[in-house]
Amino acid sequence: MSRARAAGWLLLLALGAMFVGWALAPEAALYRDWLTPRRMLGLAAVVKIGFLVSGALLAFACRDGLEEGNPARPAWALLSAGLFATLVGQMSLAPYQLVTGQTPFPSVGDLYYLLSYPFFIAAFLVFLRAYRESGFPIGPPAERVAIVAGVGLCATLAAVWVLRPVAAGGGEPLERILNVAYPVLDLVLLLPLALLLRIALRLRGSHVGAVWTELLAGFVFLCCGDIFFAYFTALGRQHLDPWVHATYLLSYGLVAGGANRQLQLLRS
């Protein structure tokens, strides 16, 4: 592992630990006197922007690193567009978080967060088509159907379990619609994600496998973050927000890390 990569991992783990520590012991002296909730929110806002800028630019550089006509090229462009949309959403929230220490919800940022999902879903579908076109075995059709059906069934059951209290929770109608929309979009995202995870398993132990492990882990954390956010907001458990920040930080960091790995691979 290169020094830069090791430093990146160390930074991500340190940030994750810092936010998990905040979630577990918010009354500890460290978080009461030094890393106050306002500072932690500001730190999360800045770091998320940093990871999203890196991820979006690196994904676009991956697109540029592939020749015209490469079926994976548009997928990297779509991934980059999704990360840019998320970045704009995060940048619209950051001034509130840095100045007032509050996160408005709903806000104009939600428009951009929602916009990112069609890009991510399209990116995954294009990646799947590209990998099928590669002629490399990506599993028999029956296996793929079984994976989609299994994940779809689990996702539907989880949706009913998670979304019922969210939909029935208090708040303005727009707030409730958004709280349902994010997890539903995540569950849709999970279907191509599961197929890509299956392919990533076949690539384990390799450079390409490492790219996909980081990218897909990032999206799994994104789904967890959205579900946590919807659940905690709907149930009025804002004290659990540190978990939401931790999952988003890990998500954006891992996606940026995966895109960076792919770029290094293309340029090596």
Q: Kindly list the residues in this chain that would bind other proteins in the complex (CB under 8 A).
A: 65-67, 70-72, 130-131, 133-137, 202-209, 265-266, 268
CB nearer to other proteins: pick between 38 and 202: 202
Largest pairwise CA distance in the chain: 58
Distance of alpha carbon 222 from alpha carbon 253, whole angstroms: 11
Give min distance, CB of 261 to other proteins, in A.
12
CB nearer to other proteins: pick between 130 and 240: 130
Torsion angle, CA of 140/145/148/152, rounded to 10 degrees?
-160
Give min distance, CB of 214 to other proteins, in A.
15
Distance of alpha carbon 100 from alpha carbon 41, whole angstroms: 10
Please say whether the beta carbons of 221 and 247 come within 8 A: yes
Give min distance, CB of 124 to other proteins, in A.
15
Distance of alpha carbon 86 from alpha carbon 104, whole angstroms: 16
Task: Write the DSSP symbol of residue 107.
Answer: -
CB nearer to other proteins: pick between 185 and 197: 197
Give min distance, CB of 67 to other proteins, in A.
5
CB nearer to other proteins: pick between 135 and 173: 135
Give min distance, CB of 78 to other proteins, in A.
15
Please say whether the beta carbons of 45 and 94 come within 8 A: yes
Distance of alpha carbon 58 from alpha carbon 67, whole angstroms: 16
CB nearer to other proteins: pick between 63 and 176: 63
Q: Where are the alpha helices (DSSP H) in the chain?
A: 3-24, 29, 37-65, 73-99, 108-133, 141-168, 173-202, 207-234, 241-267
Distance of alpha carbon 190 from alpha carbon 60, whole angstroms: 23
CB nearer to other proteins: pick between 199 and 223: 199
Sign of CA dihedral 31, 36, 41, 45: negative
Give min distance, CB of 75 to other proteins, in A.
10
CB nearer to other proteins: pick between 247 and 262: 262
Give min distance, CB of 89 to other proteins, in A.
30
